C-alpha cells in the first residue's frame, strides 16, 4: 500500500483551501437531492469529494502508464507511473547496465518527466525493494492505502467547516435556517399570507411549540413540492421574522410566538440581574476556591465538566427560589440542551415526586432556567433546599426532584424587614426537604424584603456596605458570634445578586472583617 495526500495532517490543516470545485460540488448535491444540508453533512461531502478526486486523478494516471516496480524490466518508450513521486508520469528514454555488490547486476533506466526533467531508476533488480508489490494489479484500491472518512472528519472537520462556513456566508443564493443550508433559488415561495397563517396557528396553541411539519398542512403548499424543502422554506422565513422564536433543542426545530413567551423568559427576572463586581481573585485562598466550586454559582468562573453529568444537585438561593428558576451554572449548562442559534430552549420538567410536568425555559444569555415556581411552592421548598436535576432519555425532558421527608419543626434564620433594614431572627419552621444548614433562610413578608432590596439597589449600596450591615445581624444568632462565608453568601443574595468570589475577596481585603478560623468571619472587635 502506498501513502496518499489526503491521509496527511498538513493536507487538511495548513495546506487545505476550499476550492470553487468543492463549492460547486456541494451545490450540485443540493440540486440533485433537493435536500438542505447540515454542518456535518457539508463537511463529510467535502472530505469525500477530495478523497474521491484524489482517487480519480491516480486512476487517470494509472491508465496512461504502468506502475513502476524496481524488479520489473522496461524498454525505451514505455510510460511509467511513480507512486513515490506523487504518481508522476514519465517515459523511459534510455537504459544502461548497472552493478552493485549488494544487489548484483541490474538495469538503470533513464526517465523523462513533464518539463524535460530526467531521473534514473534501478530496474531488473533481483533483491527485495520497498516499491515492489506482491501483486501486479493496478487498481486504485489495490495500490493505495485505504481511508476512513470518519477519522478525517473527526480530526479535521472543524478546520474544513470554518472554510465552508466563510464561503457560504459570501454566497447570496444561500439560505440558512436551524443548522441547515440550501439554495434560495430552489426554495418554494411563501408569502405574507402563509406567515400570518403560521402565526394564527401558534396563537391557537398558546404560543407553541410547533414544528414546521405541524403547520404545513394548514399552509397548503403545492403537493408536488418536496416536503423536505417545504419544511426548510418555512423554517427559513420564520427564522427571519421577529414574531417567531426557535426554541427547540439542537436537532429539533420548534417554533413559539415571541409575544406569548413568559415575561421572565423574554427579560431576566430582576432578582437574577447581576451587575459584575470587579475583585482580585488572587485574594481567594484554596479553601475559598473550594467553597466557590461547591456553591457552583452561575456567575463564578468555573470550568465546564469533562463529561456531561447525568445528575446535578444544588442548594437554592433566594433569587432563584423567588424567581422560580435554576442557575445555569457550568454543570447544568452542559446538561441542558442547546439550540442552533436561539437564546431560549423550551424543555419539560417532570416532578420526581408527583409525575406532574412543568414547562421550562433554558435562557442561556441570562444564565438561568425558568419555570419552577409551581414546583417550589407545591413542595414548600425553603431557601437552601437541595434540588436535584436528572437527565432523561429524551433530550428535552428532565426530572426535577429533592430529598423529602416527613415535615418537622426546625430552627431557621428568618429574614425580617425592620425600619427599612434587613434583620435576621431565629424562628421555628416546618420543613420537609433536605437543605444546607449554612444556607437555609426563611422569609414571610417577601414584598417587604423586595422593597428594601429595591431601595438599596436605587441607592447603589456597595457590596462592602451590605456585608458590614449583615455580618453583625447574622453573627448574633450564633454562640460563636461568627458567620460562615456560605451563610453570608446566601444572605447577601437576598438584597443583591452576587456570586461568592467578590464576597470572599471583600472579606479578605477589608481589615474591618476579621477571620476567626475556617471560613468563619465577624466584624473586627465584635464578639
Domain borders along the chain are 5-62+146-171, 71-131, 184-261, 287-405, 412-427+438-523
Report the C-alpha gap between 128 and 368 in whole angstroms: 69
Class of the CATH-defined domain 287-405: mainly beta
What's the mean pLDDT in 357-377?
94
Residue written as grid cell 444564565: 367
Give the residue, 352 or 423, on which the prediction is more confident. Answer: 352
Phi, psi dihedrals of residue 407, rounded to the nearest 5°: -55, 140
* pLDDT of 179 higher than 70: yes
What pLDDT sits at residue 1? 41
How big is the chain, counted in residues?
Answer: 527
Decide which of 1.10.150, 1.20.1250, 1.10.287, 1.10.10 is the CATH code for 184-261: 1.10.10
What's the mean pLDDT in 377-405?
93
Per-residue pLDDT of 125-164, as tens digits, reads 887 765 666 555 545 555 666 778 899 999 999 999 999 9
Cell numbers linked to 426: 431565629
Local structure of residue 19 (DSSP, 8 states): -
What pLDDT sits at residue 314? 95
Instruction: Write the DSSP assignment of 349-391 as a string of letters.
Output: EEETTT--EEEEEEETTTTEEE--HHHHHHHTPPBTBEEEEEE
Residues whose CB is less than 8 angstroms from the CB of residue 39 and which lie 6 or more positions away in sequence, other chains included:
161, 165, 179
* pLDDT of 117 higher than 60: yes
* pLDDT of 201 higher than 80: yes
Instruction: Write the DSSP assignment of 204-216 as a string of letters.
Output: HTTT--B-HHHHH
* pLDDT of 395 higher than 90: no
Q: Could you give the angle at the alpha carbon of 502 between the alpha carbons of 499 and 503, nearest 5°?
A: 85
Would you call 355 exposed, middle or buried from its count of C-beta atoms within 10 A (0-12, 13-18, 19+)?
Answer: exposed
Report the C-alpha gap between 79 and 66 in whole angstroms: 6
Give the residue, 135 or 123, on which the prediction is more confident. Answer: 123
Q: Which fold has domain 71-131?
A: Thrombin, subunit H (2.40.10)
Residue written as grid cell 480519480: 56
- Closest Cα partner for 43 from 22, 13, 20? 22
Reported pTM: 0.76
- Pairing relation of β-strands 357-363 and 368-370? antiparallel
The strand pairing partners of 418, in sequence order, are 421
Residue written as grid cell 404560543: 207
Q: What percent of the chain has pLDDT over 70?
A: 94
What pLDDT sits at residue 134? 57
Report the C-alpha gap between 504 and 490 in whole angstroms: 12
Give the residue, 178 or 234, on which the prediction is more confident. Answer: 234
Contact 472, 512 (CB under 8 A): no
Report the C-alpha gap between 460 and 458 in whole angstroms: 5
Q: What is the mean pLDDT of the chain?
A: 88
Amino acid at each position: 500500500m502506498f501513502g496518499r495526500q489526503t491521509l496527511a495532517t498538513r493536507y487538511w490543516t495548513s495546506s487545505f483551501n476550499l476550492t470553487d470545485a468543492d463549492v460547486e460540488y456541494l451545490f450540485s448535491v443540493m440540486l440533485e437531492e433537493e435536500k438542505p444540508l447540515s454542518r456535518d453533512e457539508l463537511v463529510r461531502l467535502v472530505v469525500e469529494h477530495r478523497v474521491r478526486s484524489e482517487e480519480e486523478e491516480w486512476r487517470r494516471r494509472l491508465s496512461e502508464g504502468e506502475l513502476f516496480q524496481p524488479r520489473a524490466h522496461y524498454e525505451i518508450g514505455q510510460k511509467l507511473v511513480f507512486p513515490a513521486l506523487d504518481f508522476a508520469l514519465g517515459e523511459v528514454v534510455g537504459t544502461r547496465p548497472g552493478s552493485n555488490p549488494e544487489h548484483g547486476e541490474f538495469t538503470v533506466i533513464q526517465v523523462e518527466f513533464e518539463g524535460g526533467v530526467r531521473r534514473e531508476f534501478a530496474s531488473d533488480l533481483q533483491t527485495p525493494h520497498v516499491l515492489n508489490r506482491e501483486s501486479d494489479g493496478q487498481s486504485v484500491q489495490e495500490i493505495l492505502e485505504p481511508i476512513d472518512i470518519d477519522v478525517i472528519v473527526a480530526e479535521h472537520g472543524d478546520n474544513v467547516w470554518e472554510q465552508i462556513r466563510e464561503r457560504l456566508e459570501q454566497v447570496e443564493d444561500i439560505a440558512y435556517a436551524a443548522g441547515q443550508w440550501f439554495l434560495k433559488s430552489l426554495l418554494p415561495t411563501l408569502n405574507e399570507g402563509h406567515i400570518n397563517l403560521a402565526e394564527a396557528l401558534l396563537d391557537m396553541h398558546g404560543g407553541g411549540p410547533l414544528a414546521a411539519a405541524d403547520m404545513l398542512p394548514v399552509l397548503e403548499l403545492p403537493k408536488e413540492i418536496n416536503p423536505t424543502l417545504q419544511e426548510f422554506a418555512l423554517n427559513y422565513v420564520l427564522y427571519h421574522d421577529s414574531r417567531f422564536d426557535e426554541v427547540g433543542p439542537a436537532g429539533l426545530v420548534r417554533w413559539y410566538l415571541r409575544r406569548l413567551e413568559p415575561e421572565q423568559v423574554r427579560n431576566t427576572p430582576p432578582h437574577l440581574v447581576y451587575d459584575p463586581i470587579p475583585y482580585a481573585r488572587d485574594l481567594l485562598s484554596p479553601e475559598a476556591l473550594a467553597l466557590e466550586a461547591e456553591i457552583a454559582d452561575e456567575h463564578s468562573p468555573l470550568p465546564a465538566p469533562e463529561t456531561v453529568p447525568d445528575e446535578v444537585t444544588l442548594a437554592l438561593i433566594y433569587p432563584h427560589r423567588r424567581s422560580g428558576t435554576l442557575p445555569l451554572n457550568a454543570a447544568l449548562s452542559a446538561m441542558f440542551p442547546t439550540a442552533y442559534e436561539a437564546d431560549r430552549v423550551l424543555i419539560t420538567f417532570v416532578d420526581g415526586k408527583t409525575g406532574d410536568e412543568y414547562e421550562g425555559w433554558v435562557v442561556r444569555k441570562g444564565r438561568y432556567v425558568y419555570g419552577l415556581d409551581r414546583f417550589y411552592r407545591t413542595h414548600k421548598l425553603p431557601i437552601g433546599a437541595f434540588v436535584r436535576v436528572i437527565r432523561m432519555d429524551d433530550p428535552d425532558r428532565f426530572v426535577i426532584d429533592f430529598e423529602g421527608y416527613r415535615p418537622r419543626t426546625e430552627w431557621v434564620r428568618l429574614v425580617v424587614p425592620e425600619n427599612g433594614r434587613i434583620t435576621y431572627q431565629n424562628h421555628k419552621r416546618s420543613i420537609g426537604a433536605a437543605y444546607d444548614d449554612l444556607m437555609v433562610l426563611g422569609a414571610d413578608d417577601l414584598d417587604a424584603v423586595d422593597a428594601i432590596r429595591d431601595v438599596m439597589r436605587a441607592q447603589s449600596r456597595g457590596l462592602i456596605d451590605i456585608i458590614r450591615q449583615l455580618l453583625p445581624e447574622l453573627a448574633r444568632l450564633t454562640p460563636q458570634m461568627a458567620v460562615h462565608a456560605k451563610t453570608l453568601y446566601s444572605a447577601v443574595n437576598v438584597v443583591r445578586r452576587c456570586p461568592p468570589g467578590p464576597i470572599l475577596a471583600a472579606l479578605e481585603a477589608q481589615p474591618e472583617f476579621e477571620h476567626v478560623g475556617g471560613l468563619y468571619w465577624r466584624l473586627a472587635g465584635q464578639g
